[in-house]
Structure formats: structure tokens, C-alpha cells
Amino acid sequence: MVMTPEVLTLSETPWLFTGVMLVKIAVAFVVTILIVAYATYAERKIIGRMQTRMGPTMTGPKGLLQPIADGLKLFFKEDIIPSQSHWFAFILAPMMILAPAFISISVIPFGGDLEFSYEGILYAVPMQIADLNIGVLFIVAMAGLGVYGIVLAGLASNSKYALLGGIRSTAQMISYELAVGLSIVAIFMLSETLSLRGIVAAQQLPLWGMESFSFIPNWYIFCQPLAFGLFVIGSMAEINRTPFDLPEAETELVSGFCTEYSAMKYALFFMAEYANMITVSAIATTLFLGGWGGPFYGWINFLLKVFSFMFFFIWIRATFPRLRYDQLMFLGWKIMLPLALANIVITGISILIWL
Amino acid sequence: MAANTNETMTINMGPQHPSTHGVLQLILELDGEIVVKATPHIGFLHRGIEKLSEHRTYHQIIPLTDRLDYLAPMSNNLGYVLAVEKLLGITDEIPERVQRIRVIMTELTRLKSHLVWLACHALDIGAMTVFLYCFRERECITDIYEKVSGARMTSNYFRVGGLADDLPDGLEGEIRTFAESIPAHVEEYEGLLTGNRIWQKRTVGVGEISAEAAIDIGITGPALRASGVDWDLRRDNPYCGYEDYEFEVPVRTGCDTFDRYRVRLDEMLQSAQIILQALDKLKPGPTLADCPKIVLPPKKDVVNNIESLIHHFKIVTAGFEPEPGEIYQSVEAPKGELGYYLISDGSSHPFRMKIRPPSFVNLQGLPQMVEGKLLADVVAVIGTLDIVLGEIDR
């Protein structure tokens, strides 16, 4: 007898639902934190190799304990709050930047359904914390919230370098969010859903409905290459990675908005940077590379794609110099925004003609 | 807020700042991100080298010159010993081998200085990898330094009338291998930077200075040659037998940061060429001039020969005493014209030694190169001027 799995709901099986939810949250959070920690290690190792260095080698075998040592060190450092700063905002800022980065993970589907039986009933659990029907909007909103952390850090520090860093990043994030947001619009038009799960499901079909080429999946990178490029470039700007790392441009603004921060608060900024990198990679994977679809078991595909994206970001950092503020604005408003709009128009026309 | 629109923000850039190349302090007046006024404040690294020199014998001053432009110590040594030799009138008595080795070592110094410049300049603009590539090659030069002089940075290798010691065995081959590898390495840096769109955007048209303005200020070296002025002391006022070598003086007319970058890279290739030519022409011979009253005798003679013992004693305790007079000698250091103005009153130490450091003069171009530009350009311009604070503050 083939049983159709029941969907867990809060109203019918409240305890089971809550338990499963907590487990999912714990797993997603712990995995993200671990990736954050080891992304720093991977970045140092990979860039080290690219720059004819070794990277960390001394702490633990092959330096594998380095992220933990770094964390411990920062944890025990003196936590300085400058006397001229606004203390409440100063403390709030690192939290405000880290929280949205982690929250965004909650709507990302990292695998298909997981089936298990409990008291004789077969249940299916989606490998996703929350399948919001406005998932993409939620992510865009959270990314926008992250700006406040940086602005607040810049203002609350009461330091000129931090202020400049804060102003730069506000302008930068707002301008690039626009291009990123518009580049995603083309995806909704094709998938006709805002749910990330729905978008992934739409990408599992054969490419452009051609049954004879069913081995090529209908990943949106194939029909939306321009949107993909805009999204990746815009995301790099939004997460302040090279070549768009102006807010914390070390050689110009000392450390930008986190100049005055020390100890664990400083570490939070760095965790946020890497968490954002993971989030952005996960979103790109979900929207353009078919999410968990691929040759291996669900979440393995997903993680592989996320890691490839992160490798790409690290690689870029080892290669490119930094753009200047005005050039950044020029690229954002005069090149990427019109391209994103044109992409929407072309997508719309194509849909009208062929679909 | 509307009332504040005309206000500018004054920002203290340095002396503790990651990209002011030492302890330069810039008082920047910013209107948003635009620099309205830039005022360099110098003197944080002042050690009174010129004044100290007045109380030391001529030989004791050489180690002080190492600390001027600490990224190019041998060029400083060379300028100073040439000045003293000119003061003593023994310029023609310097043996050929000494001349060749001096050229080889100062051209290696030029490479060393330019490598550090490129490394830091690229890092300032955000290209981190170039930094480490350049330091990999610089390491080879520091090793060569260590082998000839025992020190990796403060070489103190040249002497009035010659060299501290001959090149160690086998080093010529090592220098040749290194010089031959330079074109490939320069190609590697060019691959990362020259064609890079972002690098071009950050350097083309940034920090422009016209040839007239550059001459008015007195800018020398690669910064002058990138403004289209064909002037190189090695060719136009030769010393150390530079007239024997075939080399080109790279000149470009862009007047901007990008062309200064190109000029310096071309200079690195030319330096490698000069080193190879000098190695070809290098013949065995004495490494000290035959001037017993000026040059320390070999240790073997000091213990066996009474006359040498007396000379040794006199030179070490009292030094030598040039005729009263004054001279100016300049060399083409990696950063520009490095000049020494010496006044002798007939005693064993200079009455006055004035140093003309290229960085000090070149830095004067900074305000007009950055005013009206963006904050990020300040960093690029400091990098492209290639200043060393040890030389500016002395």
C-alpha cells in the first residue's frame, strides 16, 4: 500500500510540528555558523595559495582550529565603547547587522521533502524552515534591514572614518539593492510565484519544456543570464566584498564603519559579512541554479553550489582592485539599473510572444 | 540641516593610518567625499641626520644614509660616497670593478624600491595579490643584500674609495638568474593590473600634473618622466660609468597615475638590462682605490706592515681631512634626484651636509594633485608619488 505523506501542520499535530521546526532551526543555524567559521579559514587558505603563501598552518592540524582560536581570542579581548559614542546604538549596531543575515536563511529551501513515519502515519517535512509565499520579498526586505546596522555603526561611533564608511555603505547598498531587486523580478515573471520552493520546483523541469533535452534542467541561469550577472555583481556590492568593499576600505577609511569596534562586536561584523556571503550564495543558488536539484542527494547539491559561489567571491577578492565611490555609483545607477529594467521588458515581451 | 551645506569636514589622515606610507599626516578638508584642501604635515620621523653628520667622520656617516630612504639604502650610500669622492678629488681613481658592482647593486636597489612601491600602490588601491607577488621577488634582492653586506635592509656596503668587500663567490650567477627572471615577473604584474578595467579606472586621469607644474615644483624621477620630461641623471649627467651601458629612459606623456605606473614598470625592465650588461663587463680587480690615506688597508697588511698600521690607526681614530671647499653630487635614486651638498672646512667631518631627498620635493606636488578629487584618489596619489618618510623627515 502506497501511503501519501501527510503534511505537518500546527493545528493537527502541534507538538510534532514544533519539535520538527525546532530541529530544523537548530540544524540550519548550527550549519550556517559552522560555514561562517570555516569560510574565514577557507578564504585565508585559498587566497593564501593564490598569493604563494600557506595561510594558517599552526593552530591544529593544517590550521583547522584557526577560526576557533580567532573567535576565542576576540571573545577575551577588552570590549571598548568609546566615551564619545552613543552607547546604545553602538551596542545595537552589530546585532542589527548580524540578525538579518541569519534570518534570511530561514526561507531558503536546502533540499526536497524529508519523509518519516510517526505513530504509523507518514509525514513529509520540507527541508526549509518556512516556505513563505512571499519568500523572495522577505529576503529583499532583510537585506535592506542589514543597511541599518552599518549606518548605525557609522553614526554611533562618532568617528569621522566610521561616518564616511557608514555613508558610503548606505548609498552603495541602496543603489545596488535596486538593481538586484529588479534583476530578480524577471525570475518571478517566469516562475509565476514568489515562493522560493516554487521557484526551485519550476527549475526541475526540462529546459524550455524540451522533453528531448530532459537531461538539461530548466535552471534560470540559462534563460536569464543577464539577470544572473546583475544579481551576482549587485550581491557582491551588497555584501561589501571586493571590488565593492568601499565601506570598510582599509587603505582609505582605516576600517570604515567598524573602525571603533573591538572584541566580540568586531567579530560580529565579520560574522555578518560571511553570513551575508552564504545567504547571497544560497539565494543565487535557489533562484538561478536550480536549488537542490542535481546529480547528488538534495542538500549535497545545494551545499556544493553554495560553496562554488563562495569560492568565486574569494577568487574575485584575490584578483581585483577596489572601485572608487563615484565609479561605484555610476555602475549602479547608470549601467546596472537600466540593464535590469531592459531585462524585465525583454522578458515580458518574450513571455507574451512564446508562452 | 540645510544651514550646514557649506560646511566642510576636517579629517586627520595619519600619522597613524594604514596607507600614508609611514608617518605622513595629511589634514584633509572634505566636502562629502571631495577633497577641498590637503595639507601635508611632516616631521614625525625626524632624526636629525644632517645635524648628526656634522659630528661624525666622513666614513661614519655612511650608515646614517642607509636610514634616509630605507627602501633603497644602496642608492643613498652611492650618492654619499660619490659626493665625498668628488670632494676628495679621487673620482677618477675608483677601480673599474668597484664601478660595475656599484651599478649592479644600485640597479638591484632600484628594482627593490620599485617592487615595494608597486606592492604598496596596488594594495592601497585594493589589489592584494600583487603585494605578495612583489614581496616574493623583493625577498630575492634582500637575500642578495644579505650576502654582500650582511644586512637585509641597512646595507652600509659602499665605502669612500670602494666597497666594504668583494662580491661573495657564486653571487654573480645568482644575480644573473634573478635579473633574467625580471621580465617574466613584470609580465605577471602587468597581467593582473595593466589591462584590468578597475585598475585603469582608478589610475587613468588621477593625480594629473603637467610638465610645467612638475618642473616648477622640482619633481624628479619617474613622476617627472611620466609627465613627458625626458630627464634621467644616469644618462644626462652620468656617474659610476653609466655612459658605458645601453639603456632606454622610459618617458610617457599621460601625466597621471597610470603612466607613472607604466614608467616604473618599464624602468624595472631597463634596470634588469643594465644589471645583465654590468655582469657581462665585470672583470676581476681591486675593490678599493689606491689611496692609502683615505681607504682602510687590508687586515693582512695592518698586522705585518708598520705603514699600513699607522694609516689604519689614523683613518679609524681621526678619519681623513678633505681640502676646504663645497661640492654637490646627485644620483638618480629610484624615487628621483638624490643630492648631497657637502661643505668641508678642512676638518675630518663635514661642516654642513645638506641632503636633497627626492621624496621631500615630490611630496609638494600632492596638494595640487588631489584637491578637487575624491578621498580615494588621495590614497592612489600618495602611492604613485612613492614617498618614503625616512627621506622626507631625515
Q: How far apart are CA A217 and CA A290, in angstroms?
A: 8
Q: Choose the closest CB to B379 out of A245, A251, A327.
A: A251
Look at residue A29 and tell me whether its pLDDT is greater than 70: yes
Contact A160 B375 (CB under 8 A): no
Report the pLDDT value the prediction gives residue B341, as an integer from 0 to 100: 92
pLDDT score recorded for residue A1: 46
The pLDDT assigned to A112 comes to 72
**A residues 140-169 closer than 8 Å to B (CB):** 160-161, 164, 168
Buried b vs exposed e over A274-302: b needs ≥16 C-beta within 10 Å?
A: bbbbbbbbbbbbbbbbbbbbbeeebbebb
Taking an 8 Å cut-off on Cβ atoms, the answer to whether B198 and A325 are in contact is: no
Give the helix/strand (H/E) hosting A307. Answer: helix A298-319
Q: Are A284 and A232 a contacting pair, CB within 8 Å?
A: yes
Determine the residue of chain A that is closest to B17 in CA distance: A254
B378 to chain A: nearest residue by CA? A252
Check CB contact of A327 with chain B, cutoff 8 Å. yes
Best residue of B370, B375, B377, B378 to probe chain A, by most A CBs closer than 10 Å: B375
Could you read off the pLDDT of B72-105 as tens digits, one per residue?
889 999 999 999 988 888 888 888 888 889 999 9
Task: Determine whether the interchain pair B379/A252 forms a contact, defined as Cβ–Cβ distance below 8 Å.
Answer: yes
Q: Which residue of A has its CA nearest to B18?
A: A251
Predicted pLDDT at B109: 92
Which one-letter amino acid corresponds to residue A67?
P
CA–CA distance, A253 with A259 (Å, rounded to integer): 8
Closest CA to A321 of B258, B334, B77: B258
- Chain A residue numbers with beta carbons less than 8 Å from the beta carbon of B201 are 323-324, 327
Nearest to B198 among A243, A249, A318 (CB): A243
Report the percent of chain B where pLDDT is more than 70. Answer: 98
Q: Nearest by CB to B129, which of A51, A323, A327?
A: A51
Residue A117: beta bridge partners?
A: A122
Nearest to A254 among B9, B17, B198 (CB): B17
Strand partners, B29: B10, B37
Residue with cell 611630496: B363
In a domain, A15, yes or no: no
Distance from CA of B127 to the nearest CA of A (A): 4
SS3 A40: helix
Tell me the pLDDT of chain A averaged across its residues. Answer: 81
Least confident among B13-22, B79-88, B128-137, B355-364: B13-22
Query: Distance from B14 to chain A by nearest Cα, in Å?
Result: 10
Which residues 207-266 on chain A approach chain B with CB closer than 8 angstroms? 242-243, 245-246, 249-252, 254
Quote the minimal CA–CA distance from A186 to chain B in Å.
28
CA distance B12 to B26: 6
- How large is the average pLDDT for residues A295-321? 84
Q: Do A51 and B124 touch (CB under 8 A)?
A: no
Using a CB-CB distance cutoff of 8 angstroms, which residues of chain B are in contact with residue A160?
Answer: 9, 11
pLDDT value, residue A152:
84
Q: Which of A11-15, A265-269, B176-180, B201-205 has the highest mean pLDDT?
A: B176-180
Q: Does domain B49-393 have CATH number 3.40.50.10190?
A: no
A334 touches chain B (CB under 8 A): no
* pLDDT tens, residue by residue, B222-273: 888 888 888 888 888 888 888 888 888 888 888 888 888 989 999 999 999 8
Q: How far is A323 from chain B (nearest CA, A)?
A: 6
Interface predicted TM-score of the whole assembly (ipTM), two decimals: 0.76
Q: Is the pLDDT of residue A13 over 80?
A: no
Which residues in chain B have Cβ-Cβ distances shorter than 8 Å to A319? 127, 129, 192
Q: Give A12 or A287, the one with higher predicted confidence.
A: A287
Q: In the sheet that B34-41 helps form, which strands lie side by side, from edge to edge?
A: B9-13, B25-31, B34-41
Sign, CA torsion B174/B179/B183/B186: positive
Q: Which amino acid is at B219?
A: I
CA distance B219 to A188: 59
Q: Select from A54, A252, A260 the residue whose CB has the most chain B CBs within 10 Å, as the one to mutate to test that interface.
A: A252
Domain-embedded: residue A20: no
User: How far off is chain B from A253, nearest CA to CA, in Å?
Assistant: 9
Q: Across-strand partners of A206?
A: A217
> What does the pLDDT read at residue B1?
40
Nearest CA in chain B to A247: B376
Q: What share of chain B is helix, strand, coil (3-state, %, to 5)?
A: 55, 10, 35
Mean predicted confidence (pLDDT) in B326-335: 90
Question: If you measure CA to CA, which chain B residue comes closest to A241?
Answer: B126
Q: Cell 617574466: give the residue.
A: B184
For residue A167, what is the nearest residue in chain B, using CA coordinates?
Answer: B32
Distance from the Cα of A117 to chain B's closest Cα (Å) equals 54
Query: How many Å lie between the alpha carbon of B393 and the closest alpha carbon of chain A?
Result: 23
- Which residue's entry shows cell 560574522? A271
Does A266 fall in a domain? yes
Choose between A321 and A213: higher pLDDT.
A321
For CATH 1.10.645.10, the residue range(s) in chain B are 49-393
pLDDT at A206: 66
How far is it, in rounded angstroms, from Cα B281 to Cα B101? 10
**Residue A203 counted as domain residue:** yes
What residues of chain B lie within 8 A of the CB of A252, using their CB?
Answer: 19, 375-376, 378-379
| Residue A30 falls inside a structural domain | no
Nearest to B122 among A53, A254, A321 (CB): A321
Q: Looking at CA atoms only, how far is residue B193 from chain A in angstroms? A: 8
The pLDDT tens digits of the residues spanning A213-233 come to: 666 677 777 778 888 888 888
The upper half-sphere exposure of residue B254, i.e. CA atoms within 13 Å in the direction of its Cβ, equals: 16
The answer to the question of residue A103 being in a domain is yes
A16 Cα to chain B: minimum distance (Å): 52
Q: Measured between CB atoms, which of B9, B192, B374 is closest to A325?
A: B374
Mutate which: B30, B132, B138, B203, vs A, most A CBs within 10 A:
B132
CA distances from A76 to A59, A66, A79, A258 (A): 18, 15, 9, 18
A80-102 pLDDT, tens digit per residue, is 888 887 888 888 888 888 888 88
**Contact between A325 and B122 using a beta-carbon 8 Å cutoff:** no
Peptide bond into A247 cis (omega under 30): no
B2: pLDDT confidence band, cut at 50, 70 and 90?
A: very low
Q: Smallest Cβ distance to B129: which of A164, A252, A318?
A: A318
Residue found under cell 550577472: A229
By residue count, chain B amounts to 394
Number of domains in chain A: 1
The proportion of chain A whose per-residue pLDDT surpasses 70, expressed as a percent, equals: 91
Residue of A nearest to B124 (CA): A251
With contacts defined as CB-CB under 8 Å, which chain A residues touch B192? 319
* Domain hosting residue A172, numbered range: 82-111+130-354
**B294 confidence band (pLDDT: 50, 70, 90):** confident
The answer to whether the Cβ–Cβ distance between A325 and B376 falls below 8 Å is yes
Q: What is the pLDDT of residues A172-210, one digit of tens each?
A: 888 888 888 888 888 888 877 777 777 777 777 766 666
pLDDT score of B221 more than 80: yes
- Which residues contact residue B310 at a Cβ distance below 8 angstroms, ignoring those fewer than 6 apart? none
pLDDT tens sequence across B98-131: 888 999 999 999 999 999 999 888 888 888 888 8
**In a domain? residue A154:** yes
Mean pLDDT of A157-182: 82
Question: A32 in a domain, yes or no?
Answer: no
- The DSSP code for B325 is E
Residue A50 in grid coordinates: 593564490
- Per cent of chain B over pLDDT 90 is 9
What pLDDT, on a 0 to 100 scale, did the predictor assign at position A250?
61
Q: Does A50 touch chain B (CB under 8 A)?
A: yes
Number of A:B CB contacts under 8 A? 81
Burial A90-116 (b: 16+ CB within 10 A, else e): bebbbebbbbbbbbbbbbbbbbbeeee
- The alpha carbon of residue A12 is apart from the nearest alpha carbon of chain B, in Å, by 57
A123-133: per-residue pLDDT in tens? 777 777 777 77
Find the chain B residues whose C-beta atoms sit closer than 8 A to any C-beta of A: 9, 11, 17-19, 33, 122-129, 132-133, 136, 192-193, 196, 198-199, 201-202, 374-379
- CB pair distance less than 8 Å for A323 and B202: yes
